[in-house]
Amino acid sequence: MDEQTKPRILIVEDDQDLRTILRLQLDSNGFEVKEASNGELGVAQVHEEKPDCVILDLMMPVMDGFGFLKRIRSVKGLQSVPILILTASEDERHRIRGFQYQANAYMSKPYNLEKLTETIHSLCAGKSLKS
């Protein structure tokens, strides 16, 4: 698989170590990975990079994941970008709110790499996974 055919993933996560781990894991599974350390930078990256999918943390400084979702879903042309919420929060209200803000999938940390990779592939193929 060459660079032209690799799905482009944007990781919006404030934890540098987790971004690095995700980047390495996804890169080794055939994805091109970009990163942003908060929601505001993530919004700019979505405009610039046009990712095939976004992995989004909820709890971040500057702009949290819900603010990111609201901004992206309000911009014509970006409303269909698949977004997977990957969060340490186990609060069911966050899951519900994430889907109300039109996230496509939700996964809790710690995550299973195989399931994460499968979910990202499905989202890039246009399948919504609201489980």
Residue 126: is its pLDDT beyond 90? no
Report the chain's mean pLDDT, rounded to a whole number.
Answer: 90
The pLDDT-based confidence of 41 (bands split at 50, 70, 90) is very high
Tell me what the mean pLDDT of segment 106-125 comes to. 90
Topology adopted by domain 8-124: Rossmann fold (3.40.50)
Question: How far from chain centre, in Å, is Cα 84?
Answer: 4
Residue 129: is its pLDDT beyond 70? no
- The CA-based dihedral angle spanning residues 87, 92, 98, 102, taken in that order and rounded to the nearest 10 degrees: 130
Taking Cα atoms as reference points, which of 16, 6, 24, 25 lies closest to residue 117? 25
Q: How far apart are CA 89 and CA 60, in angstroms?
A: 12
Residue 127: is its pLDDT beyond 80? no
Report the relative pairing of strands 8-12 and 105-108 from DSSP bridges. unpaired
CA atoms within 13 A on the CB side of 108: 8
Taking Cα atoms as reference points, which of 37, 61, 33 lies closest to residue 49? 33
Domain boundaries, the chain: 8-124
